[in-house]
Amino acid sequence: MKRVLHTLAVLAVLGLVAGGAVVGLGLYNVSARVGHMPGVSWVMHTTFRNSVRLRASRPKDMPDLSDAALIELGARHYDTACRTCHAAPGEARSATMAAMEPAPPHIETAVQDWQAHHLHWIVANGVKMTGMPAWPAPRDDDVWPVVAFLLAVQDGMTETDYTALTQLPEADAPMAYCLGCHGDGGTNHVPPLNHQSAAYLQASLHAYRSGTRASGIMAQAASGVSPQALDELAHWFARQTPAEPVAAPQMPVQLIAQGRALAHAATGDGDVPACAACHGPNARDASELFPVLSGLPAPYLEQQLLLWRDATRGGGRQAQLMLKATQNLSDTDIFALVAYYATLRTNRSDADE
């Protein structure tokens, strides 16, 4: 037994010496021109696929991934954040990307054989030693638009389809990029901006850029322009005529009344003002430091309130106040507040009448 242990100890020491020589003397060739030794790529790829399948659990609630607005939002994010490495549908990868080791797969190949929850895990977590980054925000909901887009690619999205989804409106940059998502009254997932104050928009854009407000999509968008340009964008949107918001959903009258009562009542221990004290019911009554909520899309409002309650949204100076205001809200309370604010209209002289 002593001989066996002695042999194992010697082998361990020799292994450490060999490893130290490889690292300390640079014996391992890291050149991408040489590539991996035979079999290494297969081992890494098989490990990757099995690791994803082990860890990617199927969520209980999943948005409608066939929603055209969700697919478009994901396509626009992909176009600026991912296209450089994975190309677009119908487009060849650049020679530089093809020369990487390992080379990032073309998007049409990358999405094959994966289900929605697998794609969500990959986009959210990234992949070590491949150049695939993790999602730049701790929000699972923020990833679903990209997953919706990837599933559309899986279903055969063409180059023409992709171009139509990512084409920017005619406007000066960077306004055109922002209007691509936030123009025409927004969508169920993206709010219109042109009835918010410059102060609120400015604070929000800088919070996205610094990471104090969590959103991988908006972090990418805000990091693509200078801080000065963010200020200019905030003032530009604040000067625009409010667009016609998305169609107000049909909500039960009783739920709207419940939401109105909640919106006008103080919350917390009495030291948190009512929602209406900061958010209005309309732009005339809202504080410039807080967003106007009336007429915003119901799904967007609901998601923001859930993020606040779950302490995963983040924000500016008002974050602690909002965390306290929402911490005791039930799901029913949130649905009621959404019903009230989503059915108001910002262009009315008195939104409560």
Question: pLDDT, tens digit, for every residue of 224-264?
Answer: 999 999 999 999 999 988 766 666 678 899 999 999 999 99
pTM exceeds 0.85: yes
Q: Which of 166, 183, 199 is the last residue of a domain?
A: 166
In a domain, 139, yes or no: yes
Q: Which two tokens stand for residue 298?
A: 């119901």
**Over the stretch 76-116, which tens digit does the pLDDT of each residue have?**
999 999 999 999 999 999 999 989 988 999 999 999 999 99
Same domain as 100, residue 72: yes
217 occurs within a structural domain = yes
* Residue 10 included in any domain: no
Instruction: Give the pLDDT confidence of 38-75 residue by residue, as tens digits.
Output: 888 898 889 999 999 999 999 988 999 999 999 999 99
CATH number, domain with residue 210: 1.10.760.10
Check which CATH number belongs to the domain holding 102 and give it.
1.10.760
Looking at 135, 166, 197, which one is the last position of a domain? 166
Each residue's pLDDT tens digit, 277-312 = 889 887 677 788 889 898 788 999 999 999 999 888
Host domain of residue 186: 175-239
211 with 262, same domain: the answer is no
**Residues 6 or more apart from 114 whose CB is under 8 A from it?**
52, 122, 150, 154
Task: Tell me the CA distances in angstroms from 127 to 45, 89, 301, 308, one per residue in order.
Answer: 11, 22, 32, 29
Q: Specify the number of domains making up the chain.
A: 3
Last residue of a domain, one of 104, 136, 166: 166
Q: What share of the chain has pLDDT > 90, as a percent?
A: 54
233 is a domain residue: yes
SS3 123: helix
Task: Report the chain's mean pLDDT, rounded to a whole number.
Answer: 88
Contact of 279 with 286, CB cutoff 8 Å: yes
